[in-house]
């Protein structure tokens, strides 16, 4: 057994302590913890017991330094967790990556006004293995990420020229187009759009989808309120009067989120507007409450789960070239309309 040299003694319980306690070499302890199958059952059990007894906690800094191996951390940076489908997407992504041993840090950049660079610096310093940009439109942040050539990037949402080969475009525009077409085919002609959080590209896309569909069917595209307010229930309630005032002929109202739509539904009740007879309403996102609201809410959603899986596959593919990743069938990534009572 190797001699245990004099040590600065930080008070920490080290591998050597465990090795001494178990009467084995330090290397064997290291193996017992990292690659148990390469250690005999007898020693492994003895070592496990010593680890338990001494309460040994590995020092990851030392491990990283010695093995020069990367950390198994992937960061997802997003502007904000907007809605239900986003939540599902990220959750799916996280679960898929976890299956391969990665830990995903989902970080909302909006909590870090003007400090995103510090945040990224910290993440980079911890050797994160990849970074996923999710609907990020903060140029400073994007540039910083691009400048760091060492870390693979996946960009979801808006197109960024430098990241063209690592781009996943979630077609919210298409989903909204399909929904609007659905509304039109139901016979509605005076269709308005209620959009909040207009600064976010995600919502700009939804707006654009509505616009495109209305143009395609030669319907007027001016019945639109595009507010900088948060896309929540309150805003939906607050903005409905403006819509009705400006366009009394409105027979259908499409909202860019389910929250807005449910806020509208509440306001309709207060004003004794019968939905869908006097005004049809639809949302976007298929949130949990949309199936029990009164009336229940017609909504559309992208197949977030599949997109999450697709993203995970793409990411794992880039990280681990030899790993066989089943590529999801892109043709299944189509928006799904939930047709309910409100429309």
Which residues bind to a second copy, rule: CB under 8 A? 8, 10, 12, 57-62, 64-65, 68, 72-73, 81, 83-84, 87, 90-91, 94-95, 98, 103-108, 110-113, 115, 118-119, 121-122, 124-127, 150, 230, 232-234, 236-237, 259, 262-263, 265-267, 269-270, 288-289, 291-294
CB of 293 to a second copy, least distance (A): 6
* Nearest partner of 73 among 148, 22, 124, judged by Cα: 124
> At 145, phi and psi to the nearest 5?
-65, -40
51-80 residues in contact with DNA (CB under 7 A) are: 56, 58-59, 62-63, 65-69
CB nearer to a second copy: pick between 123 and 213 = 123
Q: Which two tokens stand for residue 146?
A: 């691009």
Three-state secondary structure readout of 136-193? CCCHHHHHHHHHCCCCCEEEECCCCHHHHHHEECCCHHHHHHHHHHHHHHCCCCCEEE
CB nearer to a second copy: pick between 203 and 210 = 203
Spatial distance between the Cα atoms of 198 and 50, rounded to a whole number of angstroms: 59
CB of 19 to DNA, least distance (A): 7
Compute and round to an integer the Cα radius of gyration of the chain: 27
* Nearest partner of 256 among 62, 97, 85, 115, judged by Cα: 85
* 137 interacts with, out of DNA, a second copy, none, CB within 5 to 8 A per kind: none
CB of 252 to a second copy, least distance (A): 20
By CB under 7 A, which span of 25-33, 120-128, 234-242, 294-302 interacts with DNA? 25-33
Spatial distance between the Cα atoms of 163 and 146, rounded to a whole number of angstroms: 8
Alpha helices in the chain (DSSP H): 15-22, 26-34, 41-54, 60-67, 84-99, 116-125, 139-147, 172-185, 201-216, 233-246, 258-270, 304-319
Q: Is residue 31 within the footprint of DNA (CB under 7 A)?
A: yes
Bridge partners of 300, per DSSP, are 337
CB nearer to a second copy: pick between 105 and 168 = 105
C-alpha torsion sign, points 189, 194, 198, 201:
negative
* 84 interacts with, out of DNA, a second copy, none, CB within 5 to 8 A per kind: a second copy
x-marked contacts with DNA along 4-23 as a string, rule CB under 7 A: -xxxxxx-x-xxx-------
Q: Is residue 321 within the footprint of DNA (CB under 7 A)?
A: no
Q: Is residue 39 within the footprint of DNA (CB under 7 A)?
A: yes
CB nearer to DNA: pick between 12 and 52 = 12
Whether the CB-CB separation of 298 and 124 falls below 8 Å is answered with: no
Spatial distance between the Cα atoms of 17 and 26, rounded to a whole number of angstroms: 8
By CB under 7 A, which span of 34-42, 297-305, 309-317, 333-341 interacts with DNA? 34-42
Q: Is residue 48 within the footprint of DNA (CB under 7 A)?
A: no
CB nearer to a second copy: pick between 12 and 278 = 12
In the complex, which residues of this chain contact DNA (CB under 7 A)? 1-3, 5-10, 12, 14-16, 24-28, 30-31, 33-34, 38-40, 42-43, 56, 58-59, 62-63, 65-69
């Amino acid at each position: 057994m190797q001699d245990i040299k004099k040590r600065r003694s930080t008070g920490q319980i080290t591998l050597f302590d465990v090795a001494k306690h178990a009467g084995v070499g330090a290397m064997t302890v290291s193996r017992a913890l990292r690659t148990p199958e390469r250690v005999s059952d007898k020693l492994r059990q003895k070592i496990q017991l010593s680890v338990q007894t001494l309460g040994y906690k590995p020092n990851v800094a030392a491990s990283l330094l010695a093995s020069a191996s990367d950390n198994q951390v992937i960061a997802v940076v997003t502007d904000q967790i907007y809605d239900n489908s986003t939540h599902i997407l990220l959750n799916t992504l996280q679960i898929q990556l976890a299956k391969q041993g990665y830990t995903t840090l989902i970080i909302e950049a909006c909590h870090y006004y003007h400090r995103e660079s510090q945040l990224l610096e910290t993440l980079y310093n911890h050797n994160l293995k990849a970074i996923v940009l999710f609907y990020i439109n903060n140029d400073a942040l994007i540039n910083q990420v691009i400048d760091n050539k060492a870390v693979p990037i996946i960009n979801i949402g808006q197109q960024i020229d430098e990241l063209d080969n690592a781009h996943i475009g979630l077609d919210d525009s298409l989903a909204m187009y399909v929904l609007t077409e659905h509304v039109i085919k139901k016979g509605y002609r005076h269709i308005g759009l209620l959009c909040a959080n207009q600064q976010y590209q995600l919502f700009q896309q939804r707006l654009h989808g509505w616009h495109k569909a209305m143009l395609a069917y030669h319907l007027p595209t001016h019945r639109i309120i595009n507010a900088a307010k948060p896309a929540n229930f309150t805003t939906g309630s607050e903005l409905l009067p403006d819509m009705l005032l400006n366009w009394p002929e409105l027979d259908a109202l499409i909202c860019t989120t389910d929250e807005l739509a449910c806020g509208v539904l509440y306001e309709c009740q207060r004003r004794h507007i019968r939905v869908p007879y006097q005004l049809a309403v639809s949302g976007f996102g298929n949130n949990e409450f949309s199936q029990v609201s009164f009336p229940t809410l017609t909504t559309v959603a992208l197949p977030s789960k599949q997109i999450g899986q697709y993203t995970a596959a793409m990411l794992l593919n880039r990280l681990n070239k030899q790993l066989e990743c089943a590529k999801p069938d892109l043709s299944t990534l189509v928006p799904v309309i939930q047709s309910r009572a409100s429309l």
